[in-house]
């Protein structure tokens, strides 16, 4: 199984690197059953992150024929104001790349799972890919998420089958651990939690079971 974490100029470092470490550790714990790589839609290149422009090498091209899991981080920058370093501007430039089209094709493949961390779900939402689907993002972006037609769902992790979304920046750890448990089983997920000395927060929201009433 291959997980590809998609980088784009201005991506948030923790959104990408936290899932990378979790998925890499899970692959090691599972005897190589899962591998993970950093990719871009354009191919191998150095990618500047949002915080301070730290350069991270992407080793491969986002490839829907190879990947089983695709993780999309959010952007990092100023929240408000004008200028090219704001989160809306970074996401807007990313919308002009080939990434939204590839993600649309990925969501059309039942065997593929697309996961997002923090503002990564806003990137999909801005492309019109989350209409009618439950999803979460950073708390400051929930109103924007709902305005795109997504069902803004207040949970740490939202699992809607081939779409898994996470809330704020640190939710990338929870998203990755949820994916590990779902794909490799709870014993591998527990082993990684123990290694990282981290316990997941909350229950992953799913569109299953009884619907709560009166609370």
118 an active-site residue? yes
Three-state SS annotation for the chain: CEEEEECCCCECHHHHHHHHHHHHHHHHHCCCCCEEEEEECCCCEEEEECCCCCEEEECEECCCCCCCEEEECCECCECCCCCCCEHHHHHHHHHCCCHHHHHHHHHCCCCCEEEECCCHHHHHHHCCCCCCCEECCCHHHHHHHHHCCCEECCCCEEECCCEEEECCCCHHHHHHHHHHHHHHCHHHHHHHHHHHCCCCCCCCEECCCCCCCCC
Catalytic residue among 71, 118, 158, 177: 118
Catalytic residues: 118
């Amino acid at each position: 199984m291959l997980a590809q974490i998609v980088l784009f100029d201005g991506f948030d470092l923790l959104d990408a690197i936290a899932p990378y470490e979790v998925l890499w550790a899970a692959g090691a714990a599972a005897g190589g059953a899962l591998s993970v790589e950093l990719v871009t839609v354009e191919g191998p290149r150095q990618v500047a992150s949002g915080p301070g422009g730290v350069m991270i090498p992407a080793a491969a091209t986002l490839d829907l024929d190879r990947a089983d899991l695709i993780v999309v981080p959010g952007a990092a920058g100023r929240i408000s104001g004008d200028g090219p370093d704001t989160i809306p501007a970074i996401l807007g430039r990313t919308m002009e790349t080939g990434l939204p089209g590839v993600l649309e094709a990925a969501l059309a493949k039942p065997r593929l799972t697309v996961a997002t961390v923090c503002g990564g779900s806003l990137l999909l939402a801005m492309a019109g890919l989350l209409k009618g689907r439950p999803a979460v993002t950073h708390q400051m972006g929930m109103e924007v998420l709902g305005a795109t037609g997504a069902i803004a769902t207040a949970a740490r992790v939202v699992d809607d089958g081939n779409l898994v979304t996470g809330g704020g920046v640190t939710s990338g750890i929870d998203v990755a651990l949820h994916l590990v448990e779902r794909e490799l089983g709870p014993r591998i997920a527990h082993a990684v939690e123990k290694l990282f000395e981290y316990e997941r927060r909350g229950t992953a929201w799913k569109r299953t079971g009884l619907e709560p009433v009166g609370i």
